[in-house]
């Protein structure tokens, strides 16, 4: 079984996530796209771990999951506080700071 | 059976001090009664940061890799850790200022209360403050100390998040103009998380190319293999993630918004400490991990240095808000710092490393000082940061205007200030490494940037004051202390730079 498929899939997921961050307007969806990028990196790590025959990459994937969970807590807190004031989570509406 | 890695607790003393103080801060927040929390939190945070500063001085001269190869304790790392801990302590002092704002603090009383609600209006004028900002800032400082010592990409990633997550939160805690502050937090968070996604994918690719994330192994693999596409691609993504944190153009778009929206003491903290930490990590990654394959990163750094200097200098001209202007100035300074990064000759020769770490110290001190001056000048709605409000300030408060001029001159790099010595050092290093076209661009950019610094000075001294101008607050002990320390240091590093330059030179060693 070739491992290349997994790497290509991870690269595609990363690209979908990165494009999503740039084109989507809802802060929650943007944030989900960031999570997609982190998880595609996880898939890459696990695949390379298998390719190298060591468990380092799998352990790193656990570290990444913990960090991603902490990021969710902070991110949702910030998005919630904005939403409660503006009744909208659109990143286009947050436009007081410019130029 | 897994053997426990060698772990030298003495080498970790700076980190233990700061993280210990942060954990104690969380407990204080939970158990101390509300009235006594503020002084206790300030004391705990100061003990942590000053303890870290003192322990780095005791460790001076250490040169080893510990914690299973994950942490490097070396001259350059300790110099940067001392810089971060010292600047962090000054920022904590700015946070602790209670006599400038009529509501007795720059931070919101309850961050969870929606903006504009009756409860929010009631709390805005009360003397209640939220003290969560101290443990959060202490955690961020701990992350920064770890960031510059990380000898392993995974630890670097974890440290990046430990320093970033509290920063996202504290940039949303301003007491006044809360909508702007929350918006700044949202923008910083989304773009910061985006950038850490790039860093992480780069880490995964480097792991795939070399089979390890330790900088030493990466160096060995890069020396042996050389032209691996995965490795170069991974390096590119890692550098993008780090340049974002260092607010280098073209990855700077968050900087002006976040600097303007966050409370001014937080902006001071971010502008000074984050810059030091991010450049510490960039230097270590490039010199230790990829020092033998310079062709992979030199053109990239060369290019973004030019873009950053030009963007910072030119767009800074058009700003009317002082905090935004200083944000563009920090983008230009990031470009000057990259000039120093280019200044490392082949095989670790040249003075690039010592010049860059000296520049970081000088820039950090001036930055904390200039934002401390900004907190003094106020109108009815918080700080008066619009440029026009500063007209004729010298006739109203000569001392404030003189301090502001000193820090602006240092930012512009005028002789007899720290900024001049620092700029001279990085430009000399770049010329020695043969990068004179870069230095020509840097000199032109400095000249353009000097225009907008000097414009503020001209405005303060030679414009008639407006009738309804801002008031200049009388600072309490913490801000006075910060202003005294930063002004003295800015002058001292400009007039007698020898001793500190010498220390930077001796410290400029990375352990491989």
What's the average pLDDT block by block, 10 residues per block, for chain B (512 residues)?
75 92 95 90 95 92 81 90 96 90 81 84 81 94 94 94 95 88 92 94 92 88 79 92 91 92 94 94 89 82 93 92 94 94 71 90 95 89 85 89 94 92 92 89 94 92 84 89 95 90 84 70
User: Cβ contacts (< 8 Å) between B213 and chain A: which residues?
Assistant: 56, 60
User: B256 vs A97: CB contact, 8 Å cut-off?
Assistant: yes
Closest residue of B to A48, CA-based?
A: B208
Cis peptide bond prior to B250, omega within 30° of 0:
yes
CB B374 within 8 A of CB B482: no
Q: What is the pLDDT of residue B348?
A: 60
Contact B183 A82 (CB under 8 A): yes
In the DSSP assignment, the letter for residue A90 is B
Does residue A77 sit at the B interface (CB-CB below 8 Å)? Answer: yes
Q: Distances from the Cα of B276 to the Cαs of B229, B242, B280, in angstroms?
A: 30, 12, 6
Secondary-structure percent of chain A, ordered helix, strand, coil, rounded to 5 = 80, 0, 20
- Per-residue model confidence (pLDDT) at position B512: 65
Would an 8 Å CB–CB cutoff place A17 in contact with chain B? Answer: yes
Mean pLDDT, residues A47-70: 92
Q: Look at residues A84, A21, A97 and name the one whose alpha carbon lies nearest to residue B254.
A: A97
How far is the first Cα of chain A from the last one, in angstroms, to the nearest whole number?
53
Instruction: List B382's β-bridge partners, or say none.
Output: B379
- Does A75 touch chain B if contact means CB atoms closer than 8 Å? yes
What's the pLDDT score for residue A99?
56
Longest dimension (CA), chain B: 77
Range list of β-strands (E), B31-127: 64-66, 71-73
pLDDT, position B226: 62
Neighbouring C-beta atoms of residue B290, cutoff 10 Å: 24
Residues of chain A found within 8 Å of residue B212, distances taken between Cβ atoms = 56
Q: Where are the beta strands (DSSP E) in B258-363?
A: none
Residue B345 phi, psi (nearest 5): -75, 175
Shortest CA gap A96–chain B (Å):
6
How far A28 CA lies from chain B's nearest CA (Å)? 10
Q: Return d(Cα B488, Cα B482) in angstroms, integer.
A: 10
Question: Nearest Cα to B238, choosing from B333, B344, B160?
Answer: B160
Q: Given B190, B201, B318, which is nearest A40 (Cβ)?
A: B201
* B174 at A interface, C-beta within 8 A: no
Q: Is B120 helix (H, G, I), strand (E, B) or coil?
A: helix
Cα dihedral across residues B19, B24, B26, B27: positive or negative: positive
The Cβ of residue A72 has, within 10 Å, a number of other Cβ atoms equal to 15
d(CA B422, CA B438): 16
Separation CA B418–CA B361 (nearest Å):
9
- List beta partners, residue B71: B66, B150
Q: Are B120 and B114 in contact (CB under 8 A)?
A: yes
| pTM of the entire predicted model | 0.94
Taking an 8 Å cut-off on Cβ atoms, the answer to whether B114 and A40 are in contact is: no
């Amino acid at each position: 079984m070739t491992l290349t498929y997994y790497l290509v899939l991870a690269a595609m997921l990363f690209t979908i996530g990165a494009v999503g961050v740039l084109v989507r307007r809802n802060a929650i969806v943007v944030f989900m796209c960031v999570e997609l990028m982190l998880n595609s990196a996880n898939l890459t790590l696990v695949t390379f771990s298998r390719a190298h025959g060591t468990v380092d990459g799998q352990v790193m994937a656990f570290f990444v999951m913990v960090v991603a969970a902490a990021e969710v807590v902070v991110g949702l807190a910030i998005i919630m506080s904005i939403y409660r004031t503006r009744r909208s989570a659109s990143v286009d509406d947050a436009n007081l700071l410019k130029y | 059976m897994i053997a426990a890695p060698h772990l030298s607790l003495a080498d970790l003393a700076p980190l233990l001090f700061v993280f210990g103080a942060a954990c104690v801060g969380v407990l204080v927040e939970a158990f101390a009664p509300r009235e006594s929390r503020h002084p206790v939190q300030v004391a705990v945070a100061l003990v942590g940061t000053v303890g870290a500063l003192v322990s780095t001085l005791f460790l001076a001269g250490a040169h080893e890799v510990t914690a299973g190869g994950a942490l490097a304790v070396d001259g350059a790392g300790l110099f940067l850790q001392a810089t971060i801990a010292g600047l962090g302590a000054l920022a904590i002092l700015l946070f602790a200022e209670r006599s400038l704002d009529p509501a007795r603090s720059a931070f919101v009383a309850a961050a969870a209360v929606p903006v504009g609600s009756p409860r929010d209006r009631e709390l805005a004028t009360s003397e209640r403050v939220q003290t969560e900002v101290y443990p959060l800032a202490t955690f961020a400082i701990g992350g920064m100390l770890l960031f510059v010592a990380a000898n392993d990409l995974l630890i670097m990633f974890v440290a990046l998040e430990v320093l970033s997550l509290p920063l996202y939160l504290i940039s949303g805690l301003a007491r006044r103009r809360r909508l702007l502050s929350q918006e700044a937090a949202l923008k910083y968070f989304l773009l910061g998380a985006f950038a850490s996604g790039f860093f992480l994918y780069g880490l995964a690719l480097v792991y795939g190319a070399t089979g390890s994330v330790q900088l030493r192994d990466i160096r060995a693999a890069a020396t042996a293999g050389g032209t691996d596409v995965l490795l170069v691609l991974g390096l590119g993504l890692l550098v993008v993630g780090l340049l974002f944190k260092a607010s280098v153009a073209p990855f700077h778009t968050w900087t002006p918004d976040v600097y303007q929206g966050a409370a001014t003491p937080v902006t001071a903290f971010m502008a000074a400490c984050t810059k030091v930490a991010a450049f510490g990590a960039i230097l270590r990654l490039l010199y230790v991990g990829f020092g033998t394959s310079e062709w992979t990163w030199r053109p990239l750094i060369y290019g973004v240095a030019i873009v950053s200097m030009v963007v910072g200098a030119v767009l800074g001209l058009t700003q009317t808000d002082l905090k935004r202007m200083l944000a563009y100035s920090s983008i230009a300074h990031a470009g000057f710092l990259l000039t120093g990064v280019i200044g490392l000759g082949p095989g670790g020769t040249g003075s690039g490393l010592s010049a860059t770490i000296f520049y970081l110290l000088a820039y950090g001190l001036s930055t904390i000082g200039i934002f401390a001056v900004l907190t003094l000048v106020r109108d009815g709605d918080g700080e008066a940061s619009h440029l026009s409000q500063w007209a004729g300030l010298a006739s109203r408060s000569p001392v404030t205007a003189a301090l502001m001029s000193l820090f602006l001159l240092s930012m512009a790099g005028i002789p007899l200030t720290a900024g001049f010595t620092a700029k001279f050092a990085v430009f000399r290093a770049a010329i020695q490494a043969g990068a004179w076209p870069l230095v020509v661009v840097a000199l032109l950019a400095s000249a353009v940037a000097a225009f907008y610094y000097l414009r503020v000075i001209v405005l303060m001294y030679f414009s008639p004051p407006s009738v309804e101008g801002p008031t200049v607050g009388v600072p309490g002990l913490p801000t006075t202390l910060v202003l005294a320390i930063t002004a003295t240091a800015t002058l001292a590093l400009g007039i007698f730079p020898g001793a500190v330059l010498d220390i930077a030179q001796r410290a400029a060693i990375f352990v491989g």
